[in-house]
Every structure is written in C-alpha cells, then in structure tokens.
A and B are shown apart, each in its own frame.
Chain A
Amino acid sequence: MADYGMKVSKTGFDVKTASLDNLILTSEYASWKVAQEGAGTVVVPALTELHYTETAHSLGYRPFVIGFAQPESASGRRTLLVGRTPAAGALTRKFLHTDATNFTVIYQKSATSIAGITFNFYAYVMADQNTA
C-alpha cells in the first residue's frame, strides 16, 4: 500500500501491519456507499406471468444494486434478488436488473400464484460503478 491514507484495523490487530481482511476500513479501496435506497412494490394484477417495477436512480452509469424482496406475498422474510431463486420448484421467482438509468425488480408468477397480490422489496443503489 502507498504510504499515505487511512486505515482502521479490527480489534486486536496492529493497523500498521494488519492484512486486508483484518481491516475494517482502508482508503486504499473504495467501500460500498449507498447513493439511494428505498422500498417498492410489485403488484401481480392479472394472468400474465411477468410483472415488474422500474425505479430511477439517475446516476448515469450502471451501479451495484443489492435488493431484497418477499419470497411470497405477505411473507415476513426477505430474499436476496439474484436472478431466478429458488432455482426450481413452484415458488414465485424474482429478478433484478440494472442499467445506467434504472433498476428493475421483476416477479415471475408461479403456477400456483394468484392474481391481485402485492410483493414488497427494498433496495440499496451504490454510488460505486459496476465495471472495471
């Protein structure tokens, strides 16, 4: 590491010599910073399979986004939005895609889902850009 900057080590480690995994924070690397966060819903109103909610972030580049959503309507749990999970079975599948303007949360109805239900999600949009 260059001989300047700020480092904070975990308790019990010498900040001058601690390895990266034992640092709480180091100015050598960017930390995930939340540019925007908020709740939303996807309403499944009818018989078609895909329903989605688009949310503007207006960053002008594709950021990291981490989102969590109800696996089923009225569930007290939240699952990470990573493509199609669960990978198999009848539960509703959830997607999250991101571009330079919006992030979009998509629900794909399962065969046993009914119309007229609402799914809640919450997402954090990072200021950090998702590219090398």
Chain B
Amino acid sequence: MADFGIKISQAGFDVKTTADKNLVLTSKLDTIKIAKTIDTQRTQSGASETLAIAHGLGYAPSYLFFVKNPEETTRWYSVVGESPVNFHRWWDLGVDATDLNIFLDAADTDVWNIKSFFFAEESQGAGSGNQTKGDFGIKVSQPGVDVKSAIADSDFLLNTRMETIKIVSVIDQTITYTAAPARTEVEVNHNMPFTPAFFGMVEMPFSAANDPPFGTKYYTAPFIQVGNTEVGCYVTSTKLGFFVENIANATFNFHVAILGNKLE
C-alpha cells in the first residue's frame, strides 16, 4: 500500500501489517456507498405487474433490494422468491439510469413492501453520478481526482455523505436436507435491534459430472428455480431464516452477512 491514507483494522489486528480482509476501512479500496435508499409500499394493480422504482441518480447503480410479500408479512426476502401457500412471486427485472424494475405476481390489490438500496457504484462500470457535493464530512477521492472539487459519486473511495454497508456478523448455517421435495426452514437469532438487511452465499450441491460447470460451489443467494430448487434466506425482526426446497436430499451450507443497514 502507498504510504498515505486512512486504515482502521478490526480489533486484534495490527493495522500496519494486517491483510485487507481484516480492515474495517481502508482508503486504498473503494467502500461500497449507499447513494439512495427508497422505501416503497405498492398495492398491486392487476393479476401481476412490473413495478418501476425511480431512483433519480442519473446512472445505472448497483443495488440490493428486499421484499415483504403479501402473504408473509413479517418476513423480508431478497430479490427473487415465492411464498409457500399462495405462491406469490417476485423477481428482479433490472436497473437502468432511470429506475429499478421488479416483477410482482400476487393478486389484484395485494400490498407489497420493498426496500431498495442504490449504490454509488455503478452496475455497468464507470459512470457519472452527481449528487453528493457538500462541505462537511470525510471524503477520500479516487486517485487523480481532486477531493475538494469532486462531485460524482463514483469519484470517491469514501464519502461520509453516503452510508456504508456495515458487516455486523457473518452467520454460517448448514442444513442437512432430508425432506425432499418439501420445504425445510431453520431460524437463528440475528441479535439486532432492528430488522437488518443481509447478503450471503449458499453452497449448492450440484454434480460436476452431471451439471457442468457447476460442481459444489458457493452461489450468491437466493438460488431459486420455481418447481425444482428454492434455496435462500429471509429476516424477521429477531431471526435470520434459511430455507431449502429441493428435488433431492443434500447438504446446503450458508454463509450470510447480517448488515448494519436497516430494513425496518
């Protein structure tokens, strides 16, 4: 690392020598920054619909979003899913420079809740976000950019005008699934004072011989194909839940980060 900048290590690690993964913060690396958070409550119109959430950022941001479906009103799921009784479905249709589109498929007049986090980092690479100029806080610009005059969101490695994604803990959970094809759920306490956002991976037990190039690999969760495989997570005000519904019995290993970013 160059001999300048800000570094903060995790407790127990020497900030001068420790690896990047043990740092809380380093100005050597870009910190993912939340440029905008949008809470949406949507009363579905028609048998299904595409909901457009305007983000107003002027570039196609990267993002995470979470959904509370009309049937499971205490649970927040990630970007794709299906409810267990009425088979309400939702999934990500993608972002552009104007809006995020989400497919909603419950019943006419059913109420959905969506919470979206749009990042300063773009989903298509470098771009020209432009919303965070301000004369207070801590700002670290990208190399070659004047930190005092920079205005584009993507010009900053760190900018305290924008909230970071805070990793409070990572929860490892193994489900030895023996109920095929029925659903199995496991819940653990997340010990947060609010319903937190989350992000994680699940080791899917694919056969490399039968389903190349998969093998047993870690996939970004959820992993859902309706009718065959539904594997993922949800949160409530007190629990992180893991679910598996699969056509065959197998072992599923989850590693899910509880984030210090509030859903509700």
Inter-chain contacts of A86 with B (CB < 8 A) = 80, 91-93, 103
Inter-chain contacts of B25 with A (CB < 8 A) = 6, 25, 27, 30-31, 33
Expressed in whole angstroms, the Cα–Cα distance for A59 and B22 within the complex equals 13
Given A26-B260, A50-B212, decide whether A130 and B225 contact each other with a Cβ distance below 8 A.
no
Is A114 close to B, CB under 8 A? no
Given A24-B162, A50-B213, decide whether A83 and B222 contact each other with a Cβ distance below 8 A.
yes
Is A19 close to B, CB under 8 A? yes
Whether B220 and A83, one on each chain, are in contact in the complex, defined by CB atoms closer than 8 angstroms, is: yes
Whether A131 and B170, one on each chain, are in contact in the complex, defined by CB atoms closer than 8 angstroms, is: yes
Given A33-B20, A82-B78, decide whether A130 and B170 contact each other with a Cβ distance below 8 A.
yes
Whether B62 and A21, one on each chain, are in contact in the complex, defined by CB atoms closer than 8 angstroms, is: no
Is A132 close to B, CB under 8 A? yes
Inter-chain contacts of B144 with A (CB < 8 A) = none
Whether A130 and B222, one on each chain, are in contact in the complex, defined by CB atoms closer than 8 angstroms, is: no
Q: How far, in Å, is B213 (CB) from chain A's closest CB?
A: 6
The binding surface of chain A is classed by DSSP as strand
Expressed in whole angstroms, the Cα–Cα distance for A75 and B96 within the complex equals 10
Is B5 close to A, CB under 8 A? no
Give a binary string over A56-88; 1 marks a CB under 8 Å from any B CB, 0 the rest: 000101111111100100011111111111111
Expressed in whole angstroms, the Cα–Cα distance for A25 and B91 within the complex equals 30
- In this complex, which of A23, A32, A99, A124 has the most chain B Cβ atoms within 10 angstroms of its Cβ? A32
Inter-chain contacts of A79 with B (CB < 8 A) = 92-95
Give a binary string over B1-39; 1 marks a CB under 8 Å from any A CB, 0 the rest: 000000010110000000011011110011110000000
Given A21-B260, A127-B23, decide whether A97 and B219 contact each other with a Cβ distance below 8 A.
yes
**A6 to chain B: closest residue by CB:** B8
State the A residues within 8 Å of B (CB): 2, 5-6, 8, 10, 19-21, 23-35, 37-39, 50, 52, 59, 61-68, 71, 75-88, 93, 95-99, 104, 106, 120, 122, 124, 126-132
Q: Can you list the 10 inter-chain pairs with the closest CB atoms, starting with the nearest?
A: A83-B223, A77-B94, A21-B262, A31-B164, A68-B123, A97-B217, A127-B20, A78-B123, A79-B94, A32-B32
Given contacts A32-B164, A71-B94, A85-B91, 17 further A-B contacts (CB under 8 A): A20-B166, A23-B166, A33-B20, A35-B20, A62-B218, A71-B93, A78-B95, A82-B79, A83-B219, A83-B223, A97-B217, A106-B214, A127-B29, A130-B170, A130-B255, A131-B255, A132-B170
19 contacts between A and B (CB under 8 A): A23-B166, A30-B166, A33-B23, A33-B25, A33-B32, A78-B94, A78-B124, A82-B79, A82-B220, A83-B221, A84-B223, A85-B79, A86-B103, A87-B224, A104-B213, A126-B32, A130-B255, A131-B170, A132-B169
